[in-house]
Each structure stands twice: as C-alpha cells, then as structure tokens.
Amino acid sequence: MLSKADLIITNHSFLLIDLVSEQSILPPSEMMIIDEVHHFEKVAGKHFGSKFDYAQTRFLLQQIGVREQKQLAYKIEKMLEKTSSMVEGKNLSIELNRRMSELLFEMDDLFKIIALFAEKNTKNKNQSRISCSLNSYKKNESTLLKAGLERFLFLLSDYIKTFSSCYELLEKNFDLKIEKQEIVLSEMGSWLNDAKKMATYLRQMILQSKKDNIYWIETDTRAKQNKTTIYSQPIAVSEQLKELFFEKKKSVVMTSATLTVKGSFQYAMSELGLEGMSCHQEQIPSPFHYDKQVQLIIPDDLPEINEVSLQEYVYAIGEHIISIAEATKGRMLILFTSYDMLRKTYELIKESGLLQDYSLLAQGITSGSRLRLTKNFQRFEKAILFGTSSFWEGIDIPGEDLSCLVIVRLPFSPPEEPIAEAKSIVIKQYGGNPFMEYSLPEAVLRFKQGFGRLIRTRSDKGIMIVFDRRIVTKRYGKVFLDAIPDVQAKEMNIQQIVAQIDSWL
C-alpha cells in the first residue's frame, strides 16, 4: 500500500526509525517536506543513540521468565520434552532456568548500583529527576559501575548461548504435530534478536566507548531502580544527517516558525548539517500585527534570578502571579524551565488560599496529558495553567481563553545537562564560545516558541510578562528581544502592571 501512495504523512520519529533501520519501511523518495524542523536534530540524536533502562530490560527478561512463571520458558520446556532429544532438552531447560534466575537477580543489583552512582555524582541534588554524565569520570571513579555492567553482560551472553542451543534443538526436531511449536519458535527468534542487540549495545558501551558519543544516566529519586536509564548518543548528528539523509534527497523543504537567530539561519544550518550545501532560505513575514496585539512587560520590582535563592525567587514571583491572575481573571499560561520551580510555585500559590476561585492546572501535578490540561484550561472560566518543557510549543489556545503569557525564566538549558555540557566542551576545544554559539541560540529559539503561544489569530490580544530581568540587564538580553516581532518592552512595578492589564484587556 505504501509503495503505491503519492503522498505519505508521518512524524520525525518514524522517519528517523526508518532511516536507521536495517530494513526500510517507507518506500524510496527523492522529495520531502519537514515541518517543525527545529526539532529534527534533537529527535535524530535519540535515534542515532541507544539506551539501557530498567523497565525495558525487565520486560525483555520477563518475556522468557523462569519455569514457575509460565511464560515462554515454560512453553520451551514443554516443547523440549516432546523432542527426540529429550535428555539433552531437559538439561538445557534446567540450565536456562538457572541462568535466568541469576540474570534477574543481577539486573536488580545492577540498576541499584547505576542509580546510586547517579545520585552520588549529580550536580542537581535537590531535584527529583537527576542526570549524571559518564564521560567526565575517570576509570577509578566508576569501577563499581563498570564491574556491575560487565557481570550483567557476561551472564546475558551466557544465557543467549544456552537459549540459542534450545532454539537450534527445537528447529532441528521440528514436528508439525506438536501444537504451537511454530509460534514458539517465532517468539524465540524475535526475543533472541532483541537480546543480541542489547548485548551488543552493552559491549560497545563498556569496551568500545565512542569518543564522539556522550554517555549519561537519568534517574528519578522517587523510584530510583524502576526509573533509571543509561543513554548514549552522538554529541553532534550533523554529519550523519548530511550523509544519510540530505545528500540522498533531490529536494527537502524545511519549515518552522523558529529557525532564525538575529535574522540568520546559520545556527539551524550548522545543527542540521546543511553547511556547504545549496540551500534557498526565505523568511515569510507574520500576518499578525504584534505591535497592536501584544503588550510586553518586564517587572522592575523582582530580584535577579541568579542573585537570590530558589525559594526567595519563588516567593517573589508567587506574589506577582497572584496579583496578575486577579487582574486577568485567570486566562493565564505560565511557562517554567524546570519542574522543580513549577512545583514550588504551584504549591505556594495553592497554600496561600488567595486564588480559591481559580482552577490551577499544573503539568506533572494535575492529572492528565498535555492535551487534557489544555482543554480543561479552556473549559474553566478562571484558569491558570502551569507548564514546562512541552508547553513551550505545540499548544494552540486562540481567542480570549489565553490573554496573559508569563515566562518565568529565560529558557537556557542547564549547563550541567549532559548534551549541553558535551557540546560546550567540543566548542571550547575548537576555540569557540559555547555560550554564544550554542546556549544562547538554543534559548532564543525556545523563547520564540514560547512567545508564539500568545497570539494565534488576527483578532487575538494579550499581555506577555517576562519575570527574568536578565532580558533587560544583560547584554545578551537584546538578542531575545530582537528575536520576537517588533513589540516595545516596558518596565513596570506590579501596581503599574495591574493597571496596564485593566486598561489593555
């Protein structure tokens, strides 16, 4: 069916899965249109990389299980009992169960070691979701972790050998009269393929770490063992994208509302691997009259975010949010850059009791997906939506449902975030400036996405408030202001802001 289609619509993830798969799913195509292309490089990084996590590993092993669990191991044993090589089959079955028991025990022990290593070496001690780069640690600092990975790989490799022997024996003694034998063999072959991929990844990670890859651990301190993952991915994917994708296409049209920084496509071109290629660039003017539709305000009575503690900053912005919400009657989206600050702000406002008539909807706290939270926000008359990460883009709330957008902090990636840290190190090695060449352009593009949440139609009208005073006190702040449409920024105290809201809305 796909081969007969004139037009195929898919997402970035499926397109990249097809690109890295051994067998292509999508038919060959010379022409492509990629929307929201500012995401393409990050999604590509995930697909050119690998991960080793507790949930995935446990699921893989539990598919086989041990005899008593009556999973695939039980079916294999029953099949082996019916073969002509019954004694050999019984011995293999006993061996299979013994090795799986060892493997399951070692898996639990290994992920405890991984989580403890991350917790001990993270720079974000107070956050529930922590990450820890493995590239910066010397061999003696990660000996226990490496030993645990090697033990697990050794046991997994031994299990794969025994499992392969069972598979070969059943294949050799295949009998159509034995019920469901063909299905069991198919399940075994599929499992064997997945297990070998996991073993190959672990072997590469332990023994042949690629210098151009970044390795890191992510875990949730509230459920360390169950939510622990080791990731690896290329520090840069520009060369892979260029060689595997762009050079093989006759024409690729790439679109996004956020591709330029300081009016230039240079940053996006570099990240996507398009430098040196023949590209036509075009910026299409917005149909909106932002100077008539938007008021941009920066409070002048808030502290600088890096000059006070997190708790002090939360108290300061909490008071402002309450006053602004009362003036706007809700209809307010507040964008954060960290879940920790979002949670603290939400709890402070909730506990104050000053907005009891308002529906407070918070990502990760109020139940529901992004879509459900957005719909609930539109449904309630007085609603405030607290969002981070995915709420900076991709949500569409036109009309009066959203009249006030608050950006709590300029969206810089934390410097200790593994990919950001690795890219900064590489830029320094080449004599560049990591802040100007990576951190700032990335933050500006995200800021533009956040700004885009406010005005969705020609008749929309709203107020955008940026709490982070660095946008006017730091030299680089002008880059953020220049990145959005021509709207004059005004500095005001909270009383003036409330008065401005009353007159504007």
- Residue 90 structure tokens: 């019984």
User: Does residue 39 fall inside a structural domain?
Assistant: yes
pLDDT of residue 355: 94
Same domain assignment for residues 455 and 332: yes
Same domain assignment for residues 93 and 18: no
pLDDT of residue 86: 65
Same domain assignment for residues 155 and 58: yes
The total number of residues written for the chain in this structure? 505
CA distance 479 to 483: 6
Same domain assignment for residues 343 and 491: yes
Same domain assignment for residues 247 and 224: no
Nearest to 36 by CA among 253, 299, 320: 253
Which residue, 234, 254, 281, sits at the end of a domain? 234
User: Does residue 281 fall inside a structural domain?
Assistant: no
User: Does residue 285 fall inside a structural domain?
Assistant: no
pLDDT of residue 179: 64
Same domain assignment for residues 351 and 228: no
Same domain assignment for residues 352 and 470: yes
User: Does residue 482 fall inside a structural domain?
Assistant: yes
Model's pTM, two decimal places? 0.84
User: Does residue 194 fall inside a structural domain?
Assistant: yes
Element (H, E) at 198: helix 181-207
Q: Count the domains in the chain.
A: 3
* Strand pairing category for 489-492 and 404-407: unpaired
pLDDT of residue 127: 65
Contact status, residue 497 vs residue 299, Cβ threshold 8 Å:
yes
CA distance 413 to 174: 57
User: Does residue 210 fall inside a structural domain?
Assistant: yes
Same domain assignment for residues 230 and 241: no
CA distance 286 to 460: 14
Range of the domain at 382: 290-504
User: Does residue 277 fall inside a structural domain?
Assistant: no
pLDDT of residue 68: 83
Q: How far is CA 39 from the centre of its chain?
A: 11
pLDDT of residue 225: 65
Element (H, E) at 249: none
Same domain assignment for residues 168 and 254: no
- Dmax over CA atoms of the chain, in Å, equals 89
pLDDT of residue 251: 94
Q: How far is CA 496 from the centre of its chain?
A: 39
Same domain assignment for residues 335 and 418: yes
CATH, residue 339: 3.40.50.300
Contact status, residue 461 vs residue 266, Cβ threshold 8 Å:
no
User: Does residue 279 fall inside a structural domain?
Assistant: no
Same domain assignment for residues 149 and 241: no
CA distance 234 to 240: 9
Strands (DSSP E) contained in 303-413 are 332-335, 359-362, 383-387, 404-407
Same domain assignment for residues 39 and 59: no
Q: Phi, psi (5° rounding) for residue 163?
A: -65, -40
Sheet holding 404-407, edge to edge: 359-362, 383-387, 332-335, 404-407, 462-466, 294-299, 489-492
Axis crossing angle, helix 181-207 with helix 143-172, rounded to the nearest 10? 150
Low-confidence ranges of the chain (pLDDT < 50): none
Axis crossing angle, helix 72-81 with helix 86-121, rounded to the nearest 10? 160
